[in-house]
Amino acid sequence: MPLVLRYAKIVISSVVRRMSVSVLGAEADLFRALAHPFRLQLLELLREEEACVCHLSAYFDKPQPYVSKHLAELRDAGLVVDRRDGQRVYYRLSDPSLGAVLDDVRTATRRLGASPDEETERLVPRYPVPGCECPRCAVA
Ligand SMILES: [Zn+2]
């Protein structure tokens, strides 16, 4: 093989290798962001509709700083986006197809032996949530 072709092959395989590492790194980041039961619960609820921090705090009966911390991790990973409306910040999935990812993970864990229970079933929005003062709970 001519030297120039050999060099081109080395350069191309090096580029491909770097792309693979970059894609794998991005996939690892995604799994890191998913790797907390509460963040999975947040994503499950947000796949149904957007919700503000105070609603999520009341819904899960968790302190707002705790909820905000996990939402920030999901936002930093690009899994949720936020929208400010006055004093409130609303969150939703950045891409509806993330719901399919959650379904696939659930299917995989069941195949690995996890049995379904009430807590792991899909979370559904409900209004009003006691103690929540968000606009939706206020009118419900
Ligand atoms: Zn509410």
CATH of the domain spanning 37-113+125-135 = 1.10.10.10
124 near 78, Cβ under 8 Å?
Answer: no
Q: Domain limits of the chain? A: 1-35, 37-113+125-135
How far does the chain reach from its first CA to its final CA, in angstroms?
A: 75
pLDDT tens-digit profile of 13-50? 666 666 677 888 888 999 999 999 999 999 999 998 89
129 near 55, Cβ under 8 Å?
Answer: yes
Tens place of pLDDT for every residue, the chain, 140 residues?
666 666 666 666 666 666 677 888 888 999 999 999 999 999 999 998 899 999 999 999 999 999 999 999 999 999 999 999 999 999 999 999 999 999 998 889 989 988 877 666 667 888 899 989 999 998 87
Distance of CA 105 to the CA centre of its chain: 12
- Neighbouring residues of the ion ligand 1, judged by CB less than 5 Å: 55, 132, 134, 137
Euclidean distance between CA atoms 45 and 85, whole angstroms = 20
**Ligand 1 centroid – CA 90 distance (Å):** 11
